[in-house]
Structure 1
Amino acid sequence: MSAPHSDRIDAIAVGDVIVRVRDWAPLVHCITNTVAQNFTANVLTALGAVPSMTIHADEVAALVESADAVLVNLGTLDPERRAGIEVAVAAARDHGKPWVLDPVKVNRVATRRAFALRLLKSQPAIVRGNTAEMAALFPHLGSDGTVVAVTGARDSLSDGHRTVLVDNGHPLLARMIATGCALSALIATCRAVEPDSLLAATAATVAWGVAAERAAEGEPGPGTFAVRLIDEIGAIDPETIERHASLSRG
């Protein structure tokens, strides 16, 4: 069965996904980096989602079953999280829950890369990482309809047939810990309400980039920027997205 495709991927469609997140308040279960947990939870809550963060293998399956989407982030790959990730991915597969993989630092640690490659066999809806991380997983990406989101100065997102380029964002994102982790959680949040994985990933990426541009007005330092970023993702709306979105088809 082929994945659903939206008729359009543009600023209006992006704004509609954000509205649905606010209307539906999806539950997103996040197994993520320890340094990212608090920031990620605040970002998702600001947008209107309901985050859960439990990593213990005894509880993860039940939480995934009740969730609308799942994030698996490899940033802190300690034994407890590794066990929790395996349970979460199996539960997501068993219950038909979309899940997103953030393969943090797989380009630097061989065992982490091997674990990520094994997880890819369970078909995440979306994989998001930076250029080096995604290159380490090539050519195992995109052959099964999984959306590949490579983020950086220009973000490139593709499902193997359609490609979207996003030019929103700000250099301050690279001077803060956990902004990429939070984006991956936002992608999972948008996928919870939008079955087209490419549109979902695009919506989160554009909204995050626009929020960053607005948060950076007045040239704040990284600490002030972090607070403003949460404020701006909480205030993001379709009108703001339509005015500031910079996306094109590749």
Structure 2
Amino acid sequence: MTPSEHVSHDLAFLKPRDIFRALERLRAHRPRVHCITNAVAQELTANVLLALGAIPSMTIAPEEVESFARSADALLINLGTLDDVRRQSIPLALAGAKGAGRPVILDPVFVDRSPVRLAYARDLLGWDHLRPDLVKVNGAELAALGDLHAHVRAGDYALAVTGDPDLVMSGERQLGLANGTALLSRVTATGCAVGAVMGAFAAVLDDPLIAAGTALSVFNIAAEQAATVAQGPGSLMPALLDRLHGLSADDISTHLRLVPQPSATTNSGEPS
């Protein structure tokens, strides 16, 4: 199979078998995700990608980041640790990835805490030729960025809103995903790692919305299973890496929990 082959392009038919087929495709193709992410998240993000079957690259050096992003299969832009080097590197990486037709995921971490970071994120979202394909936010970040739903309805990018439930939406399509464990909130950078997982699936699926829903399902089902054997946060992460590595079709079929949502035209998509 090639990365452009069809799996599913309608969230109403996001079935366990579709998710597992996408996971098999990822494991077979081993896409490389170039991650410009925060310093705290780098090691965990790399290990999550490797356990899943993907390959991480992490350089932020301005002199080489464009070629790394151009030759990768997807690009993650995470605005954590938004220092001068990352601010210089992000436009270069975007140009490389977009020029090569690679999917781009934007995770505007903590834009609700920093006016400078918020302004930078809004700039990124306003660059038509470099606009991301998928934006991952939590409720506070979404509120800070303002109404993104006009862009989502227009198909400018897909949106993943993490919460309870997680919501994924693009155009008129919207779905809730109810898997996960509260223990993830006790380990730093797990949310950042999910953005990279979205990049890995976006590299092998040609619909960013399906990629986001698949990524959230795989990561959160694995986390639920890990939580059943973990003694606490310290043992959760080794167990999560093991479950990502070994996740099966039966695991997905047994544990997947989807929450049907009304049309995006009648529901803002913001978590309650």
TM norm structure 1: 0.95
Structure-2 residue corresponding to 1:57: 62
- Contact 1:39/1:178 (<8 A) preserved: yes
Letter in 2 for 1:238: A
Range moving further from structure 2, 114-123 or 207-216: 114-123
- Contact 1:28/1:71 (<8 A) preserved: yes
Structure-2 residue corresponding to 1:36: 41
- Aligned residue for 2:199, secondary structure, equals helix
| Structure 2 unaligned regions, length at least 5 | 1-5, 262-272
1:220 CA drift (Å): 1.8
- Contact 1:100/1:127 (<8 A) preserved: yes
Q: How many residues align?
A: 247
Structure-1 residue corresponding to 2:138: 130
Structure-2 residue corresponding to 1:220: 231
- Aligned residue for 2:152, secondary structure, equals coil
1:130 CA drift (Å): 1.0
- Of structures 1 and 2, the one scoring higher in RCO (CA 8 A, sep 6+) is 1
- How big is each residue's C-alpha offset from its partner over 1:223-250, in whole Å with a ceiling of 9 and x where there is no partner? 1011111111111122211111101331
- Contact 1:113/1:137 (<8 A) preserved: yes
Structure-2 residue corresponding to 1:231: 242
Structure-2 residue corresponding to 1:189: 200
Percent identical pairs in the alignment equals 43
- Contact 1:18/1:237 (<8 A) preserved: no
1:138 CA drift (Å): 2.3
Write the distance in 1 (CA, Å) between the matches of 2:15 and 2:87. 37
Structure-2 residue corresponding to 1:89: 94
- Aligned residue for 2:106, secondary structure, equals strand
Structure-1 residue corresponding to 2:73: 68
Range moving further from structure 2, 167-176 or 8-17: 8-17
Letter in 2 for 1:184: G
Write the distance in 1 (CA, Å) between the matches of 2:103 and 2:154. 14
- How big is each residue's C-alpha offset from its partner over 1:112-141, in whole Å with a ceiling of 9 and x where there is no partner? 011101111332111112110112112135
- Contact 1:104/1:129 (<8 A) preserved: yes
Write the distance in 1 (CA, Å) between the matches of 2:99 and 2:73. 13
Write the distance in 2 (CA, Å) between the matches of 1:143 and 1:53. 32
**Does structure 1 residue 16 correspond to structure 2 residue 21?**
yes
Write the distance in 1 (CA, Å) between the matches of 2:179 and 2:249. 15
- Contact 1:107/1:113 (<8 A) preserved: yes
**Does structure 1 residue 156 correspond to structure 2 residue 200?**
no
- Aligned residue for 1:129, secondary structure, equals strand
Query: RMSD of aligned C-alpha atoms?
Result: 1.4
**Does structure 1 residue 142 correspond to structure 2 residue 152?**
yes
Write the distance in 1 (CA, Å) between the matches of 2:66 and 2:154. 25
Write the distance in 2 (CA, Å) between the matches of 1:109 and 1:136. 10
Structure-2 residue corresponding to 1:204: 215
Letter in 2 for 1:170: T
- How big is each residue's C-alpha offset from its partner over 1:200-226, in whole Å with a ceiling of 9 and x where there is no partner? 000100011101100100452101011
Letter in 1 for 2:143: A
1:144 CA drift (Å): 4.1
1:97 CA drift (Å): 1.1
| Structure 1 unaligned regions, length at least 5 | none
